[in-house]
Structure 1
Protein backbone atom coordinates (compact mmCIF):
# COMPACT_ATOMS: atom_id res chain seq x y z
CA UNK A 1 0.00 0.00 0.00
CA UNK A 2 1.31 3.43 -0.87
CA UNK A 3 2.09 6.06 1.71
CA UNK A 4 0.47 9.47 1.76
CA UNK A 5 3.01 12.13 0.84
CA UNK A 6 2.82 15.84 0.13
CA UNK A 7 3.45 15.10 -3.55
CA UNK A 8 0.55 12.65 -3.72
CA UNK A 9 -1.81 15.09 -2.04
CA UNK A 10 -0.67 17.92 -4.34
CA UNK A 11 -1.18 15.69 -7.38
CA UNK A 12 -4.69 14.78 -6.24
CA UNK A 13 -5.56 18.44 -5.60
CA UNK A 14 -4.28 19.48 -9.03
CA UNK A 15 -6.20 16.63 -10.65
CA UNK A 16 -9.40 17.64 -8.88
CA UNK A 17 -8.96 21.30 -9.87
CA UNK A 18 -8.46 20.37 -13.52
CA UNK A 19 -11.49 18.06 -13.29
CA UNK A 20 -13.57 20.93 -11.91
CA UNK A 21 -12.48 23.14 -14.84
CA UNK A 22 -13.30 20.43 -17.40
CA UNK A 23 -16.71 19.86 -15.81
CA UNK A 24 -17.39 23.62 -15.81
CA UNK A 25 -16.48 23.76 -19.50
CA UNK A 26 -18.75 20.82 -20.32
CA UNK A 27 -21.71 22.16 -18.35
CA UNK A 28 -21.49 25.72 -19.71
CA UNK A 29 -20.17 24.78 -23.18
CA UNK A 30 -17.40 27.39 -22.85
CA UNK A 31 -13.62 27.36 -22.49
CA UNK A 32 -10.96 29.95 -21.64
CA UNK A 33 -9.58 31.40 -24.88
CA UNK A 34 -6.13 32.91 -24.35
CA UNK A 35 -6.16 34.71 -27.71
CA UNK A 36 -8.98 37.02 -26.70
CA UNK A 37 -8.37 36.66 -22.95
CA UNK A 38 -11.96 35.64 -22.37
CA UNK A 39 -14.42 32.79 -22.59
CA UNK A 40 -15.05 31.21 -26.00
CA UNK A 41 -18.07 29.10 -26.82
CA UNK A 42 -18.21 25.62 -28.27
CA UNK A 43 -20.06 26.94 -31.32
CA UNK A 44 -17.34 29.50 -32.13
CA UNK A 45 -14.39 27.08 -31.86
CA UNK A 46 -15.58 23.44 -31.78
CA UNK A 47 -12.17 21.83 -32.41
CA UNK A 48 -10.41 23.85 -29.73
CA UNK A 49 -13.24 23.13 -27.29
CA UNK A 50 -12.98 19.37 -27.83
CA UNK A 51 -9.17 19.49 -27.66
CA UNK A 52 -9.47 21.33 -24.35
CA UNK A 53 -11.85 18.69 -22.97
CA UNK A 54 -9.77 15.72 -24.18
CA UNK A 55 -6.44 17.08 -22.92
CA UNK A 56 -8.01 18.14 -19.62
CA UNK A 57 -9.51 14.68 -19.13
CA UNK A 58 -6.17 13.00 -19.88
CA UNK A 59 -4.43 15.28 -17.36
CA UNK A 60 -7.04 14.40 -14.73
CA UNK A 61 -6.65 10.68 -15.32
CA UNK A 62 -2.84 10.87 -15.31
CA UNK A 63 -2.54 12.98 -12.15
CA UNK A 64 -5.06 11.03 -10.09
CA UNK A 65 -3.87 7.58 -11.17
CA UNK A 66 -0.21 8.49 -10.66
CA UNK A 67 -0.97 9.82 -7.18
CA UNK A 68 -2.82 6.66 -6.21
CA UNK A 69 -0.32 4.18 -7.66
CA UNK A 70 2.93 5.70 -6.40
Structure 2
Protein backbone atom coordinates (compact mmCIF):
# COMPACT_ATOMS: atom_id res chain seq x y z
CA UNK A 1 0.00 0.00 0.00
CA UNK A 2 1.48 3.34 -1.00
CA UNK A 3 1.07 6.75 0.64
CA UNK A 4 -1.86 7.73 -1.61
CA UNK A 5 -3.69 4.55 -0.67
CA UNK A 6 -3.11 5.25 3.03
CA UNK A 7 -4.48 8.77 2.61
CA UNK A 8 -7.56 7.44 0.84
CA UNK A 9 -8.34 4.94 3.59
CA UNK A 10 -7.64 7.53 6.30
CA UNK A 11 -10.15 9.89 4.68
CA UNK A 12 -12.65 7.04 4.48
CA UNK A 13 -12.14 6.39 8.19
CA UNK A 14 -12.76 10.08 8.90
CA UNK A 15 -16.17 9.77 7.24
CA UNK A 16 -16.91 6.80 9.45
CA UNK A 17 -15.74 8.59 12.61
CA UNK A 18 -18.11 11.50 12.01
CA UNK A 19 -21.18 9.29 12.29
CA UNK A 20 -22.39 7.31 9.33
CA UNK A 21 -25.92 7.85 8.10
CA UNK A 22 -27.94 5.44 5.98
CA UNK A 23 -27.18 7.24 2.72
CA UNK A 24 -23.43 7.04 3.31
CA UNK A 25 -23.64 3.35 4.17
CA UNK A 26 -25.62 2.69 0.99
CA UNK A 27 -23.18 4.75 -1.12
CA UNK A 28 -20.15 2.94 0.32
CA UNK A 29 -21.79 -0.43 -0.24
CA UNK A 30 -22.49 0.45 -3.87
CA UNK A 31 -18.97 1.80 -4.31
CA UNK A 32 -17.56 -1.42 -2.87
CA UNK A 33 -19.58 -3.56 -5.28
CA UNK A 34 -18.57 -1.43 -8.27
CA UNK A 35 -14.93 -1.51 -7.18
CA UNK A 36 -14.95 -5.30 -6.97
CA UNK A 37 -16.57 -5.54 -10.40
CA UNK A 38 -14.02 -3.14 -11.94
CA UNK A 39 -11.12 -4.99 -10.32
CA UNK A 40 -12.36 -8.34 -11.66
CA UNK A 41 -12.99 -6.94 -15.14
CA UNK A 42 -9.51 -5.37 -15.22
CA UNK A 43 -7.94 -8.73 -14.30
CA UNK A 44 -10.02 -10.46 -16.99
CA UNK A 45 -8.84 -7.87 -19.53
CA UNK A 46 -5.17 -8.64 -18.93
CA UNK A 47 -4.13 -6.15 -16.25
CA UNK A 48 -2.03 -7.48 -13.40
CA UNK A 49 -3.29 -7.13 -9.81
CA UNK A 50 -1.35 -3.93 -9.07
CA UNK A 51 -2.48 -2.24 -12.28
CA UNK A 52 -6.05 -3.30 -11.67
CA UNK A 53 -6.04 -2.00 -8.09
CA UNK A 54 -4.55 1.33 -9.19
CA UNK A 55 -7.33 1.75 -11.78
CA UNK A 56 -9.96 0.96 -9.16
CA UNK A 57 -8.43 3.36 -6.62
CA UNK A 58 -8.40 6.14 -9.21
CA UNK A 59 -12.09 5.48 -9.86
CA UNK A 60 -12.91 5.46 -6.14
CA UNK A 61 -10.95 8.66 -5.49
CA UNK A 62 -12.82 10.34 -8.32
CA UNK A 63 -16.17 9.08 -7.08
CA UNK A 64 -15.52 10.36 -3.57
CA UNK A 65 -14.46 13.83 -4.69
CA UNK A 66 -17.36 14.41 -7.08
Could you tell me the TM-score, scaled by structure 1's length? 0.44
Say which structure is richer in helix.
2
Say which structure is richer in strand.
1
Relative contact order higher in (CA < 8 Å, ≥ 6 apart) = 1
